[in-house]
Amino acid sequence: MTAPLAGIRILEVGTMLAGPYATMLLADLGADVIKIEPPEGEISRQVSDSYFASLNRNKRSIRLDLNSQAGQDKLGELAAQSHALLVNLKPSAIRRLGLTYEALRRFNERIVCVAITGFGLDGGDDPAFDYVVQAATGVAALTGHPDGPPTLPGYSSADNSTGLAAALGLLAQVTSGRGGQVDVCLRDVMLSQLNYHASAYLNDGVEPQRRPFGAHSYYVPAQMFPTSDGYLALFITHDGFWKSFAAEANIDGFETMAERVARRDEVLAVVAGALASDTAANWESRLRPLGVPVAAVRTLPEALKATPEIIVSAGDFRLVANPIRIAGYQPEYRPPPKLGEA
């Protein structure tokens, strides 16, 4: 099967994570991604080879000093032959380097220019790294134990999520057949991902609160629980799940979600007591066949060992495969380019 994005050329002026992640996913699906790097190379090359590989496989590389006239001339040539350009830099740098639609439309009226920034192209140059944005948008305040400090997830959720949104915006505008500017910022993406929390506050005046063990605000029980060995994630979202779980755990009562929500503390105490009687692994093996949403908490190495099909080889690197699976198409995974390797 021909790659879904075969024939689509995308220029990337990306740094670190959000931008390179977006274009890597598109490259996996067949887009020709040309990574425009400064003469010394994109900064994430300095982090580690494996870090760079995790975000830049399946691309080509070109060294270009965009601060020079020669670099700007070459940028114009590339823009004339490309469907899109994606950049993640400060807004002032994006404009100064001519990486907007207004600057590039003279070379190609149909080019799509995607800007990933912290607070929008018109939002200023305040530093907007992933963890800073998580703190600023309420994510950190919702994470962790109520009696402990605000906590950050152990991975770059803002950068990764913004990369996905930027890839979606790029494809939407490319398929429209029109050129134009697409503006995606980390702040707005993270606020969007707090969707039902934001809606509850804006419409019902309900402020989100941090609950023990990451408990869900609407469903009970839906959280982590300690067991006799390890922690278990249990996610009961309707009465059918509860009926199956309660029968296996020898729990009586609380048959409707409304009752379980109204008697949250009582339900959680009963469930915690029942789950303490066995290990997380055993509860998973007991409940999964019943269709109950449940999982023992695993480390990343344990999860990768349990899911070998998600690991692919790109040259000498072992990486996580593209999560988008298209019937009849199998991506070819090439290693990340050396600096200037076309």
Q: What is the pLDDT of residue 58?
A: 98
Count helices and strands in the chain by DSSP H and E runs: 14, 11
- Tokens representing residue 16 in the block: 């670190």
The one catalytic residue in 28, 32, 130, 159 is 159
Could you tell me if 61 and 35 are in contact, meaning their C-beta atoms sit under 8 angstroms apart? yes
1-17 pLDDT per residue, tens:
899 999 999 999 999 99
50-70 pLDDT per residue, tens:
999 999 999 999 999 999 999
Q: What are phi and psi of 236, to 5 degrees?
A: -95, 105
At residue 292 the predicted structure's pLDDT band, cuts being 50, 70 and 90, is: very high
Mean pLDDT value across residues 220-228: 97
Q: What is the pLDDT of residue 128?
A: 87
Sign of CA dihedral 36, 40, 43, 47: positive
239-259 pLDDT per residue, tens:
999 999 999 999 999 999 999
Which domains does the chain show, CATH number per domain?
9-193+311-320 (3.40.50.10540), 231-296 (no CATH)
- Tokens representing residue 132 in the block: 């800073």
Average pLDDT score, the chain:
96
126 in catalytic set: no
* 3-state class (DSSP) for residue 314: strand
Q: What is the pLDDT of residue 127?
A: 86
